[in-house]
Structure 1
Amino acid sequence: MPTPDYILELRKDLGQKELFLPGVTAVTLRRRDPSGQELPTPEVLLVRRADDGNWSSVAGILEPGEEPGIAAAREVLEETGVTAEPVRVTGVSDHGRVEYPNGDRCAFLDVSFELEFVSGEPYVGDDESVDAGFFPVDDLPQPFLEKHRERIEWALDSGAPARFRT
């Protein structure tokens, strides 16, 4: 999905000044094959980003008034066609500052989620990515966006409390 309309409206007034935005990272795990048998190694849903060619978890920006868990599931469905359900918050962190090729600047607060795969076969659902698929968590494709490796590890640590950097 392209830049949300509310951000485009803000940009009319603020230009390229830095915006502080809430975002979500949706780490969708598949632990069972289609027949219901447990996989030897969990698989994670990844997209290959159109902007830099890196593989990463699905991520996106919350819409005003949107619940973060709902946003995570929405982003997964929009970007990959996969239906997934939020299981838990795995961490809250500073995603860092980003400057886009057009000069727009943003800083993101990221709420990371573990999501459970429900159904669907991954496909490229928008212009933000060029590929999508499930991969064994111990054999991630390259090049890989390193900040997402930590978020995948958080999701794999079932039952652990949410992480907060101190």
Structure 2
Amino acid sequence: MPTPDFIIDLRAAIGTAPLWLSGVTAVVLRGEEVLLIRRSDNGMLAPVSGILEPSEEPAVGAIREVYEEAGIVAEVESLAWVHVMDPVVYGNGDRAQYLDLVFRCRYVSGEPQPLDGEATEVMWRRLDDLDDLESDDHRERIRVAALREPATRFER
């Protein structure tokens, strides 16, 4: 996945020191289906996700990521889950940890297609057919968003 310019600038100043970053996951639902991408960096299936740009509103960032990665117009319905992900160490030694905001989104229009190089494939998948997703965490993000609970889930 391409590294945003603002992170490249930060890395020039701090090296591989840990970065605390805000990320979004957009769980786009269309009936009993969810939008998935096959990531170009590792070949695994996952919902659309990404890093927020400085000053970007989280819901706006989620919708931007969906359009940039998958060519789909979506609308945020609600914030489904707020959680802190485990620390990550990338192959080049960079360290980061993410506050992930999971949004339940509604499909509006468009045909799924990989647009920005972050995905090699984009597809609709039935909610009961998610065994080959990248991780249990991604399955949980989809599960929580698909529940349509009236309140956001916060980890405590």
1:10 pairs with 2:10: yes
Counterpart Cα distance in 2 of 1:125 and 1:103: 28
1:130 pairs with 2:120: yes
Partner of 1:69, secondary structure, is helix
Question: Which residue in 1 is equivalent to 2:41?
Answer: 51
Question: Which residue in 2 is equivalent to 1:39?
Answer: none
Question: What letter corresponds to residue 30 of structure 1 in structure 2?
Answer: R
Question: Which residue in 2 is equivalent to 1:61?
Answer: 51
Q: TM-score, normalised by structure 2?
A: 0.94
Deviation at 1:140, TM superposition (A): 2.0
Deviation at 1:68, TM superposition (A): 0.3
Q: 1:128-155 deviations in whole A, cap 9, x for unaligned?
A: 2221111000012625322011111111
* Cα RMSD, aligned residues only: 1.3
| Counterparts of residues 96-135 of structure 1 (less than 5 Å) | 96-135=86-125
Residues 21 and 96 in structure 2, CA contact (< 8 A), matched pair in contact too: yes
Q: 1:46 to 1:8 in 2, by over 3 A?
A: same
Residues 135 and 141 in structure 1, CA contact (< 8 A), matched pair in contact too: no
Q: Count residues in correspondence.
A: 156
Counterpart Cα distance in 1 of 2:30 and 2:14: 41
Q: TM-score, normalised by structure 1?
A: 0.89
Partner of 1:96, secondary structure, is coil
Question: Which residue in 1 is equivalent to 2:144?
Answer: 154
Counterpart Cα distance in 1 of 2:131 and 2:123: 10
Q: 1:75-123 deviations in whole A, cap 9, x for unaligned?
A: 0000000000100000100122112222211100001100000001111
1:164 pairs with 2:154: yes
Deviation at 1:127, TM superposition (A): 2.3
Please list every run of 5 or more consecutive structure 2 residues that lacks an aligned counterpart in the other structure: none
Question: What letter corresponds to residue 8 of structure 1 in structure 2?
Answer: I
Residues 133 and 139 in structure 2, CA contact (< 8 A), matched pair in contact too: no
Partner of 2:124, secondary structure, is strand
Q: Sequence identity, in percent?
A: 46
